[in-house]
Amino acid sequence: MAKPRVAFFDFSCCEGCQLCVLNLTAEQLLDLLNVVDIVEFREAISETSDNGYDVAIVEGSITRDSDIPRLEKIRETASVLVCLGACSSMAGINALKNFQTMEACQNEVYPEAPNKYETALARAVDEIVKVDAHIPGCPIDTTEFVKVVKNLVLGKDLDIPTYPVCIECKKSENVCVYEEGRHCLGPVIRAGCGAICPGKGGYCFGCRGLIPDANLESMREIMDKYNMPFDKIDDRFKLFFGRNKEIFKDVK
């Protein structure tokens, strides 16, 4: 039986998630190519998918209305559409612009010619077309990428965690950063990264997105308990939440 044909596409992003795919180990790549054929991947091959594809892997968010017809065409062609990374899954870092007016963005970036370039609110791919799977992270985790693509084409459960980063952090026996007077979004963010940031002396700033039914009230209570009122939350926590601005509606 022919293997599903996979094509990669990008919109507004740094292309770091595709770079991660490019950097798969030989073992990971063989594992992937056992189940799919890659027919378009601009960062790696010059071929284009003129004869169609079955799975579209889309990186980047939609930040211009003129991108929409291209995205719709990709959706129309593919049987399965997968979002690759935070930009496509939740509008990602691009959605920082959503905290201000588009006019302010244009004036900031192109003060000499603010109207020369089109811009719009940054949107996740699923705000425009149906998405079949999201691979979280900024950037993605390559082990998770291979697992999810394989599971998808084999019709298995995708096996993406729905529990928070705190679970992995506790398992790794990290000292909670709240005990050190710093804050962290781990209680409401999707695990799967091995709590890498708190484990390396940092904190979770939310790159894998909210867990389903994230208890934001409880998050506020944790911060209050440690005398870090949510309304004083650092701007760094807005990095991945331009799409979920309601989280910050009370932030001064």
Taken in order 185, 236, 136, 241, is the CA torsion positive or negative? positive
Q: How far is the CB of 18 from ligand SF4 (least distance, A)?
A: 7
Q: In this structure, what DSSP letter does residue 184 have? A: -
Q: With binding defined as CB under 6 A, does residue 14 bind ligand SF4?
A: yes
Among 6, 21, 204, 210, binds ligand SF4 (CB under 6 A): 204
Phi and psi at residue 109, in whole multiples of 5°?
-85, -40
Among 8, 85, 90, 124, binds ligand SF4 (CB under 6 A): 85
Among 120, 150, 178, 251, binds ligand SF4 (CB under 6 A): 178
**Which of 152, 189 has the CB closer to ligand SF4?**
189
3-state secondary structure of 40: strand
Which residues 6+ apart lie within 8 Å of 36 measured at CB?
3, 4, 5, 6, 55, 149, 153
Pairing mode, strands 55-59 and 37-40? unpaired
Among 21, 125, 131, 189, binds ligand SF4 (CB under 6 A): 189
User: Considering only 102-110, 161-169, 211-219, 229-237, which stretch makes contact with ligand SF4 by CB under 6 A?
Assistant: 161-169
* Radius of gyration of the CA atoms of the chain, in A: 19
CA–CA distances in Å: residue 74 to residues 14, 68, 128, 130, 178? 20, 10, 12, 11, 44
Q: How far is the CB of 97 from ligand SF4 (least distance, A)?
A: 13
Q: With binding defined as CB under 6 A, does residue 107 bind ligand SF4?
A: no
Question: Given the rule CB under 6 A, which residues bind ligand SF4?
Answer: 13-17, 59, 85-87, 92-93, 138-139, 165-166, 169-170, 174, 176-178, 184, 186-187, 189, 193, 195-198, 203-208
